[in-house]
């Protein structure tokens, strides 16, 4: 129901009791049969572990409370989610996949380098480099007394300037297992690159996929049992299975500066913005407008009786007798026919 620091403050204020005894220190173990209360209300047992994938946009701080009153990730989550914590962090100017969970033990276990989970990023940086120089990061690097472990960095795309001398933009895919504070930015800066955009693509087996900025999707219980069995206590393991639900950004989300080309963080769909001089969309025309009108079938000819009979064809005169050829010789008997 609160962070560790907030719980310490609750205990210090005498608001937490265990089996009717008010606690004066947090150094107390709570057993399965114990009754824990806060302000006289019983604290329920831990719920089964749940996990969400969240596409964090830039401009949000990954914290519950920010001393500088900046917008936070947890203020802009869709309504209906329980109290969650993040697995790792993304800084203010970084975007991409952020895992959320209701299990604090799981979050701490997956943040440790000993878990061996690979964090994969895509970075756009300004400067000049080559693959040989990036390969030196596989042995690790020490920057200002801080040791960073092995990093796999590969060039995806490089834009060469016409003069061949000045700096150029380069896209690099970076994979690491430690995830120290601002690690990707500091390591690339140490080899002469300035990161101007950083996107986390995956965290362990979980991918960002096609999640839009600000969207949240819950991971199903079956996937949790398959991928996280080594990190979750058996009593907290979720049971059953259900289809993950996709949640849109909350109504609190607003356009924020520095979000890059990912679009604004707003609820629902956004209208496309066209550059000046672009052709306008074609006007849709109803398919019935140019449809052929059905033609009437010609009926029998009607001949006016007011016209002279000479003008009418002989074959169509009602009173005209059809001429028959005259027979010559005796009539034939019926037996001969």
Catalytic residues: 91
150: which 2 tokens? Answer: 């092995």
Closest to 150 (Cα-Cα) out of 192, 105, 116: 116
Return d(Cα 18, Cα 16) in angstroms, integer: 7
**Are 184 and 88 within 8 A, CB to CB?**
no
Q: Strand 21-22 to strand 36-38: parallel, antiparallel, or no bridges (unpaired)?
A: unpaired
B/e letters for 251-263, b = 16+ CB within 10 Å, e = fewer, are eebeeeeebeebe
Return d(Cα 190, Cα 105) in angstroms, integer: 34
| Interacting residues of 255 by C-beta distance below 8 A, sequence separation 6+ | 264, 265, 266
Residue with tokens 């026919």: 337
Return d(Cα 95, Cα 82) in angstroms, integer: 23
Report DSSP state, residue 102.
S
Q: How many CB atoms lie within 10 A of CB 86?
A: 20
Return d(Cα 59, Cα 94) in angstroms, integer: 8
B/e letters for 291-319, b = 16+ CB within 10 Å, e = fewer, are eeeeeeeeeeeeeeeeeeeeeeeeeeeee
Quickly list H helices, the chain: 4-12, 104-111, 131-135, 183-190, 221-227
250: which 2 tokens? Answer: 């909350």
| Interacting residues of 269 by C-beta distance below 8 A, sequence separation 6+ | none
| Interacting residues of 81 by C-beta distance below 8 A, sequence separation 6+ | 52, 100, 216, 247
């Amino acid at each position: 129901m609160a962070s560790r620091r907030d719980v310490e403050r609750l205990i210090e204020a005498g608001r937490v009791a265990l089996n009717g005894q008010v606690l004066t220190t947090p150094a107390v173990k709570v057993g399965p049969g114990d009754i824990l209360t806060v302000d006289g209300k019983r604290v329920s047992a831990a719920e089964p572990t749940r996990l969400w994938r969240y596409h964090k946009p830039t401009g949000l701080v990954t914290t519950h409370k920010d001393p500088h009153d900046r917008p936070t990730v947890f203020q802009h989550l869709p309504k209906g989610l329980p109290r969650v914590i993040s697995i790792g962090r993304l800084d203010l100017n970084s975007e991409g996949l952020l895992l959320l969970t209701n299990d604090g033990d799981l979050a701490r276990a997956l943040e440790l380098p000993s878990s061996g989970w690979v964090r994969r990023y895509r970075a756009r940086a300004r400067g000049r480099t080559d693959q040989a120089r990036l390969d030196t990061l596989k042995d690790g690097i020490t920057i200002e007394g801080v040791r960073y472990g092995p990093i796999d960095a590969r060039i995806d795309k490089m834009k060469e300037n016409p003069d061949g001398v000045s700096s150029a933009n380069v896209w690099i895919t970076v994979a690491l297992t430690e995830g120290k504070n601002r690690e990707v930015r500091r390591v690339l800066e140490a080899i002469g690159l300035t990161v101007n955009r950083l996107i986390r693509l995956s965290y362990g087996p979980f991918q960002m996929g096609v999640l839009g900025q600000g969207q949240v999707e819950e991971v199903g219980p079956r996937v949790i049992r398959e991928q996280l069995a080594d990190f979750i206590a058996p009593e907290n393991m979720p049971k059953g299975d259900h289809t993950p639900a996709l949640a849109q950004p909350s109504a609190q989300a607003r356009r924020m500066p520095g979000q890059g080309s990912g679009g604004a963080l707003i609820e629902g769909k956004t209208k496309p913005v066209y550059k000046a001089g672009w052709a306008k969309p074609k006007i849709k025309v109803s398919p019935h407008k140019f449809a052929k009108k059905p033609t009437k079938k010609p009926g029998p000819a009607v001949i006016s009786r007011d016209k002279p009979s000479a003008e009418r064809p002989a074959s169509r005169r009602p009173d005209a007798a059809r001429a028959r050829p005259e027979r010559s010789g005796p009539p034939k008997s019926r037996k001969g026919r």
